[in-house]
Chains A and B, each alone.
Chain A
Amino acid sequence: MDLSIFGYQFMQNAILSAFLGGIACATIGVFVVLMHMPFIGVCMSHAAFAGALLGLWLGFNPLVGAFTFSLLSAAIIGPLADRGELSPETSLGVIFSLMLGLAFLFMGLMPGTKSGALELLWGSILTNTRSDIIFLGIVTVIVVGLVFIFYKEIQATIFHRDMALSVGLPATLILYGVLFLTGATITASLRSIGGLLIFSLILNPAAAAYQLTYSMKRMFLLSAGFGVLSGWTGLLISYLFNIPSGATIVVTSSVIFMIAAIFSPKRKVKGWQKKPLSEE
C-alpha cells in the first residue's frame, strides 16, 4: 500500500479532524443515548444543516448559521419536552420536518452551483483547513473538559433529572448545557462529516459503548475510542476505494455498533437478573 498520501497536509488535517470530531461527537453521544434523546440530536443536526445553507445563500459564515439554528431548535425543543406540552416525539417530528424543509428551500433559492451545499450535506473531511481544525479542537477540549469538571452533576442528571434536582443539583442547567454542547459539536463537525451524516457519528459509538459496559466512566472512554476508530478507519477505506469519507466514517461506526450489539454481555441481562447472587 502506498502510504505517501499521509505525508500530505490535507491528509494530516483529515486525520486530526477525524480524531477530534470522533472524540467530541462520541462524548456528546453518551448524553444522547443515556438521556434517551436521540431524536433531539437528529433534529439539531438537520437544523444546523439548514442554518449553514441559509449562511451560504445570504453570504455569511455557514458555521454561524449552523450554530444559531441548532441552538434555536434546542431552545424550542428543550422547554417543549420539559413542560410536557407536546409529547417529545410530536414536537421533535414537527421541528425535524420543518428544518429539512427549510434546508431544501434555502438550497433551491441559492443561485449558481450547489457544490458548497452538497459538501455540507455529505461532508468533506479532506478539504478541512487549519481554522476548521482549530475550531473543532476548541470545541472538543470544551466538551471533554466540562464532562471532566462536572462529571458528578452530569452523572446524576443522566440517571434521573428530578432526583438530581431534589438533591439540590442544577439539573435543568446541565440539560440545557448538554443541548448547547450538542449544537457546538454538530456545528464544528458539520464540514467534516456533513449535516445528514453527523448524527450517526454522535449516536453509533456511544450506542456501541452502551452495549459493553456497566460503568459510565468506561462508557465515555469506550465511546470516544469508537468515535476515533470510526473516523480513522472510515478515512482509510475512503482513501483505498476512492469513495466519500463522510459516508465511510458513518458506515464504519454502524458496523462497530453491530459488532458490539452482537457480543454485548447485556444481551443476557434478563437471565442475569433471575440468577441467585451465589451464581454470579
Chain B
Amino acid sequence: MRATVINIEDAVVSYREDIALQGVSLEVKSGEFVGIIGPNGAGKTTLLTIVNGLGKLLSGRVWVLGNYLTPSNSHSLRKKVGYVPQVENIDPRMPMNVREVVMIGRYGLLGLFRKPGKHDWEIVDEMLKLVGMTHLAQRPIGHLSGGEQQRVAIARCLAQEPELFLLDEPTASLDWKAQTEILELVKRIHDSRRLTTLFVTHDLNSLPVACDRMVLMKEGLIWSEGSPHELLTDDNLSRLYDMPISAVEKRRKDTISV
C-alpha cells in the first residue's frame, strides 16, 4: 500500500476579508498524479502554497513528507518540494542566463556559504537536456518564449531533486502545441522519477490522459474528486464553471479541433 505524502486536514486560508480555502481536506498518496481544476479564485494556487509552506493557514493542518508543516520546519521541508509557479513576465534585460536560473533549484540544497560545484552543474545540464533546452543554456532568460521559460522552470524545479512536484498552471497562456508538449513532459518526468505530482491547470483536454485523479475546486472548497473520466463530463464542467452545457460542449469541440 502506498504511503500518504500529503494530508491536508480542514485547511482554512484567508487573505484579509477573502477566504481562499474554507475547510479543505485532501489526501495524496506517494506516486499519484493529481490534476486540480476549477474557475479563477477557486483556491487552486492557495492549495499548492499550503503544501510547500508558503501559504499561511488560519486553521487546520498540513502533513507533508512525514511531518506536519510548522513555521519552523517549512523552510527545510520546502527544499524537498519542487514548485513551478504561474508564468510571469520575466524582464527581457534580466542579467541571468538559462543555466544560472536552473541552478537556483540547487541553492536551497547547497545551504548557506557553499558555492555550486562541478556535480551541481552536471545536474543542471542533465535537467536542461531532459527538458530539451540544452541548446538555449547560455541564452539570457528574458529572451525565451513562454513555453521555453516553462521548460526552464521545470528544469529548475527538477534540479532541486524534489520528492513532490507542484505545478501551478504551467500551460497557461501557451499555445496548444506548447501546452501538449509541457503536459507530456511533466507526465514523462513524473513516471520516470516516481514523483508525486499536483498539477493545477485549465487544460481539460489532455489532462485525463495524464492524471490518476482529478480534484475539482470551486469557491475555496473541493467540489468533487475522482477519476478524470467520471468527473470531466460536460454536465459537471457546466456546473463547475457556471456555463451552459451547450457552451461547454462548443468550447471542448473547438479546442479539440484546433
Flag if A167 contacts B104 (CB, 8 Å).
yes
Residue B94 lies at the interface, judged by CB distance under 8 Å to chain A: yes
Chain B 119-151 interface 0/1 with A at a Cβ cutoff of 8 Å (1 = within): 000000000000000011000111100000000
In the docked arrangement, what's the CA distance between A269 and B94, Å? Answer: 11
CB within 8 Å of A: which of B137-183?
A: 140-143, 156, 160
Residues of chain A within 8 A (CB-CB) of B85 are 160, 162-163, 166
Residues of chain A within 8 A (CB-CB) of B54 are 162, 165-166
From A150, A163, A216, A269, give the contact of B112 (CB < 8 A). A150
In the docked arrangement, what's the CA distance between A210 and B92, Å? Answer: 11
Residue B83 lies at the interface, judged by CB distance under 8 Å to chain A: yes
From B79, B97, B104, B136, give the contact of A214 (CB < 8 A). B97
In the docked arrangement, what's the CA distance between A164 and B202, Å? Answer: 26
Residues of chain B within 8 A (CB-CB) of A114 are none
In the docked arrangement, what's the CA distance between A156 and B141, Å? Answer: 13
From B97, B110, B135, give the contact of A152 (CB < 8 A). B110
- Chain B contact-residue range equals 35 or more
From B78, B100, B112, give the contact of A165 (CB < 8 A). B78
Residue A132 lies at the interface, judged by CB distance under 8 Å to chain B: no
Residues of chain A within 8 A (CB-CB) of B96 are 155, 159, 214, 216
Flag if B79 contacts A153 (CB, 8 Å).
no
Q: Which residue of the partner chain B has the closest CB to A217?
A: B95
**A80 CB to nearest B CB, Å:** 14
The dominant DSSP class at the A interface is helix
From A149, A163, A168, give the contact of B76 (CB < 8 A). A168
Residue A272 lies at the interface, judged by CB distance under 8 Å to chain B: yes
Q: Which residue of the partner chain B has the closest CB to A266?
A: B93
Chain A 149-179 interface 0/1 with B at a Cβ cutoff of 8 Å (1 = within): 1101101100110111111111000000000
In the docked arrangement, what's the CA distance between A34 and B90, Å? Answer: 11
Flag if B92 contacts A277 (CB, 8 Å).
no
In the docked arrangement, what's the CA distance between A167 and B42, Å? Answer: 25
Flag if A218 contacts B108 (CB, 8 Å).
no
In the docked arrangement, what's the CA distance between A170 and B112, Å? Answer: 10
Given contacts A166-B54, A210-B93, are A273 and B113 in contact (CB under 8 A)?
no
From B95, B105, B135, give the contact of A277 (CB < 8 A). B135
Flag if B95 contacts A210 (CB, 8 Å).
yes
Flag if B94 contacts A159 (CB, 8 Å).
yes
In the docked arrangement, what's the CA distance between A214 and B140, Å? Answer: 7
Flag if B104 contacts A215 (CB, 8 Å).
no
From A166, A169, A272, give the contact of B143 (CB < 8 A). A272
Residue B107 lies at the interface, judged by CB distance under 8 Å to chain A: yes
Given contacts A152-B110, A272-B143, are A163 and B104 in contact (CB under 8 A)?
yes
Interface centre among A152, A155, A270 (most CB of B within 10 A): A152
In the docked arrangement, what's the CA distance between A216 and B100, Å? Answer: 10
Residue A97 lies at the interface, judged by CB distance under 8 Å to chain B: no
**B152 CB to nearest A CB, Å:** 11
In the docked arrangement, what's the CA distance between A160 and B107, Å? Answer: 13
Flag if B116 contacts A152 (CB, 8 Å).
yes
Chain A 167-204 interface 0/1 with B at a Cβ cutoff of 8 Å (1 = within): 11110000000000000000000000000000000000
Residues of chain B within 8 A (CB-CB) of A170 are 75
Flag if A215 contacts B110 (CB, 8 Å).
no
Q: Which residue of the partner chain B has the closest CB to A216?
A: B95
Residues of chain A within 8 A (CB-CB) of B108 are 167-169
In the docked arrangement, what's the CA distance between A277 and B98, Å? Answer: 15
Residue A12 lies at the interface, judged by CB distance under 8 Å to chain B: no
Residue A213 lies at the interface, judged by CB distance under 8 Å to chain B: yes
Residues of chain A within 8 A (CB-CB) of B97 are 214-215
In the docked arrangement, what's the CA distance between A216 and B75, Å? Answer: 26
In the docked arrangement, what's the CA distance between A256 and B241, Å? Answer: 55
Flag if A167 contacts B78 (CB, 8 Å).
yes
Q: Which residue of the partner chain B has the closest CB to A219?
A: B95
Chain B 80-103 interface 0/1 with A at a Cβ cutoff of 8 Å (1 = within): 010101001000111111001100
In the docked arrangement, what's the CA distance between A167 and B85, Å? Answer: 12
**Other than the known A155-B96, A168-B109, A213-B95, what 10 A-B pairs have Cβ atoms closer than 8 Å?**
A159-B96, A162-B85, A164-B107, A166-B52, A167-B104, A170-B75, A215-B95, A215-B97, A216-B96, A218-B95
Which 3 residue pairs of A and B lie closest in terms of their CB atoms, listed nearest first?
A: A168-B108, A168-B79, A167-B108
Task: Jot down 28 A-B pairs with beta carbons below 8 A, ordered by A.
Answer: A34-B95, A150-B112, A152-B107, A152-B115, A152-B116, A153-B112, A155-B104, A160-B85, A162-B85, A164-B104, A166-B52, A166-B54, A166-B81, A167-B78, A167-B104, A167-B108, A168-B78, A168-B108, A169-B107, A169-B108, A213-B95, A214-B93, A215-B95, A216-B96, A216-B100, A218-B95, A219-B95, A277-B135
| Chain B residues within 8 Å of A, Cβ to Cβ | 52, 54, 75-76, 78-79, 81, 83, 85, 88, 92-97, 100-101, 104-105, 107-110, 112-113, 115-116, 135-136, 140-143, 156, 160
